[in-house]
Amino acid sequence: MNSVDLALSDDALNAALVRFLNRITVPFRLLVAVSGGSDSKGLLIALHQLLHHHPHITLAAATIDHGLRTESAAEAQDVATLCAQLGIAHAIRHWNGPKPTTGISAAAREARYSLLADAARALGANAIVTGHTADDQLETIAMRKQRSATEDAPGLSGMADRVLYRNQIWIYRPLLSCRRQMIRDFLSHQGLSWMDDPSNTNSHYERARVRATLAKANDINLPRPERREEISQQAARLIEAHVHKPVAGVIAIDQAAWQAPSSVLRHALQALVATVGGQSHGPAAQALTQVMTLFQRPGGARITLGRCLAHRHRHGLLLVREARGLQAIILAPNETAVWDGRWQIRNSFETELRVTESTLTQMPDDKALPASIVALGQQSQPQFHLSGETLPTLMRADTDYQSIISQYFSFLPGFDWPLACTLVELFEAKPFFPADF
């Protein structure tokens, strides 16, 4: 395996990784997600070679065995052998338990990142790096475009070069400007092979079908992440200037917000609706259009979308969680759970804690808001029940609970950082863990 120590042979691959490593100026440990495929294997070996010039950075690696193919255990062990030869600490994590019969790709993705975060903690890593390439970016955009009704949908910006996973650890993608063939050429020049996952060419999977279509594309025309960041910043400024929370559970958007460019207003609205409704994604484009046209109707007009009620008020628009689907949960002592997609709650009592919608009926002195909207806002708040008794108030001293920004609870793309931070302030939510670089 002496060939592993050869110098990098591809200038573009080298330049991409040097730019990434130069951003790290403090002692740091990176966990490389390595499957044994060309992209992740090339990333591991290239980083290993470059770290001779960055002694303050160390590497660890992890392989996730999803258990979906009989060969996966041997492939994970091959990666472990390579890491041992390179002197890199390595962990194998297994996706155990029953697998879903539908949505297997999404479930495997969630399991993969959860297990990678666990491995990072165990190996003392500060961040995770993955081998996503420009080809992956093109495939992702193509798939999203097939499901998009508008040309300026946020998803068409593609994958971000950094993502915060479950507010725990940042995941970086330093190879998004590199083509897959470039990485394969790098490995081949060093006499190294890689594993090809059969699912990558299995037409049963959407990504495999799109990959086959794009395989011969020479014009990669990747989107500018700066454009998505600009929209996020403008949406954040719009919310700061024109959105407030008059009473618990109610968000008010004033009339001036509708003067903003359509793309910015849509981005702000989808984030607000997702957060008020406790959803992991904003409403569909058609529903957003209905909200935007609701402003043209007289006061009192209402529509529902994304588990929210949007009410046209004389001063603008009011958003509140609608009354349906507020399911109770029971937390064991020391258990943490999310209620209604909007509140993260830890039971610090020694007995079970039941969380339900609120039954409080106190009305504010301010009569400017419709009583029905204020009542919905109060109902949408969590109420605690302990040993058969309803706690009279929300007691932060006894129960650790925080509002969360549901859209970004699992994955926060780096280019939406400005918007996410503004939502944290508006909803008085749990702050997000900032990126190290």
Which residues sit in the known binding site? 35-40
- Report helix angle 206-214 to 134-146, nearest 10: 120
DSSP 317-378: EEEEE-STT---EEE-TT-EEEETTTEEEE--SSS-EEEEE----PPPS--SS-HHHHHHHH
DSSP symbols for 219-239 = ------HHHHHHHHHHHHHHH
DSSP string for residues in 64-100: EE-SSSTTHHHHHHHHHHHHHHHT-EEEEEE--S---
Match 């780096």 to its residue by tokens: 414
Q: Which of 19, 4, 27, 14 is nearest to 127 (CA)?
A: 27
Question: Cα separation of 295 and 311, whole Å?
Answer: 9
In the DSSP assignment, the letter for residue 301 is -
Enumerate the known binding-site residues for ATP.
35-40
Let me know: does 61 contact 90? Beta carbons within 8 Å: yes
**DSSP H/E element including 209:** helix 206-214
Tell me how far CA of residue 350 lies from CA of 161, 389, 390, 395, 396, in angstroms: 43, 15, 16, 15, 16
Fill in the DSSP letter of residue 16. Answer: H
Return d(Cα 62, Cα 47) in angstroms, integer. 15
> Distance between CA atoms of 414 and 307, rounded to whole angstroms?
26
The helix (run of H) or strand (run of E) holding residue 386 is: strand 382-386
Integer Rg of the chain from CA: 24
Indicate the pairing of strand 329-331 with strand 316-321: unpaired
